[in-house]
Structure 1
Amino acid sequence: MNLLDHIASVAALAGRPWHDHAALAADEHLRFEWYRDAVPRDEIAFLRLVLADPDREMAISAVLARIDERARSSIDFHSWADRVEPVCAPVEFLSRRLAEWRLLIDAFAGRPVEDAAVLAASDWAQRKLAAVVDGDLLVLLAEHGRTRRVRALTRVPRPARPVRLSDRAVTSGPIRPCYG
């Protein structure tokens, strides 16, 4: 299958036949955005076709972008990831990203995660965790984070819970800053 036939197949599946197929074939950046923005009828078949694009690196990047966007915006990422995992399995990087997003979503939601999974996670995932988590996970990353950058992120002060005016004792007079 040549690239124009490939693009026509993707367009039919995604319901996007109005694009200039020659322009998409000539410009992988344009094709990347086209893949990323598509809303296909069948996500699994769509991802399979995208990964069949002759420009392998661009195709993997487009699927990665879809995974990242879905993880950031979906309440039900785990079930979506379970459905698309067989398509992504041949590309280790994509399989690992699905697993790491599952880990991140669970950790951010306060669900228990395995220490081994946190320590085996990529630098990208450990940085995301170190910037957000608290408690035992933060201590784990502070002591055993893979990189100096991850360990340094654990020392960044976390924002304090906002204090409501009703929680403070009312004083007489203005509140003055203390520079001690």
Structure 2
Amino acid sequence: MDAEDGPAEHARFAAYLVALEQVADADEIELVDGVLADPDPVMARAAVVRHLDRRAARLCPEPAWEEWAEAMARVVVRHPFLVRRLREWSLFRAVALRLPWHPGDLLASSDWLQLQTAAGASPEALGVLAESGRTKRIRNTARASLTRRVEG
């Protein structure tokens, strides 16, 4: 790659995103593991978190979620940020599907998850975040979502 084209890790990042977007389900875990073996761990984790977010959003309501999340947890186990993101997707799924969840888990979660949830979730979750969300933006978003539910 020429210096004019940008750093090599940028090209690998772009290639990883394309490969992760197109990977067959049966080959996904092996590909994620390969990406995480890249010599630039920050870039590799960034590519994998984008993939994880995309796949989790698509699989969230599906029965295939459980098997996928378990397999993904095994491959990201040595990457605390990815482990946390996967755990937070599991919590988001529980809230969205009205499965059992604990308000303390939601309040201990990242701003990312609180904001995702505040944008429109169960009334119980919105109430928790409207009252005790970590930031003013999260509390206001949750209040606005609650108001839309009441008015709609």
| Bucket of the pairwise TM-score, normalised by the shorter protein | 0.7 to 0.9
* Shift in Å, 1:151: 1.0
1:29 corresponds to: 10
2:74 corresponds to: 86
Superposed CA deviations along residues 53-84 of structure 1, whole A, max 9, x for unmatched, are 01111100011011011012122223211112
Q: CA RMSD in A?
A: 2.2
Structure 1: 4+ residue segments shifted above 3 A = none
**TM-score, length-scaled by structure 2:** 0.81
Equivalent residues of 2:9, 2:43 under 8 A apart: yes
Q: 1:103 aligns with which of 64, 80, 91?
A: 91
* Shift in Å, 1:122: 0.3
SS in 1 for 2:100: coil
Gaps of 5+ in 1: 1-21, 162-180
The structure with the largest alpha-carbon Rg is 1
* Shift in Å, 1:50: 0.7
Equivalent residues of 1:88, 1:94 under 8 A apart: yes
**Corresponding letter in the other structure for 2:10:** H
More divergent stretch after superposition (54-63 vs 140-149): 140-149
**Corresponding letter in the other structure for 2:119:** A
Residue 122 (1) aligns with residue 116 (2): no
Superposed CA deviations along residues 24-76 of structure 1, whole A, max 9, x for unmatched, are xx532222122122215532222121111011111000110110110121222
SS in 2 for 1:42: helix
1:65 corresponds to: 50
Equivalent residues of 1:70, 1:77 under 8 A apart: no
Q: 1:151 aligns with which of 113, 119, 139?
A: 139
1:11 corresponds to: none
Distance 1:48 1:93 in 2: 15
**Corresponding letter in the other structure for 1:104:** F
Over the matched positions of the two proteins, sequence identity in percent amounts to: 39
1:174 corresponds to: none
Distance 1:94 1:35 in 2: 16
**Corresponding letter in the other structure for 1:36:** L
Equivalent residues of 1:119, 1:146 under 8 A apart: yes
Distance 2:117 2:106 in 1: 9
* Shift in Å, 1:158: 1.7
Equivalent residues of 1:130, 1:138 under 8 A apart: yes
Distance 2:106 2:66 in 1: 17
* Shift in Å, 1:109: 1.7
Instruction: Give the number of aligned pairs.
Output: 140
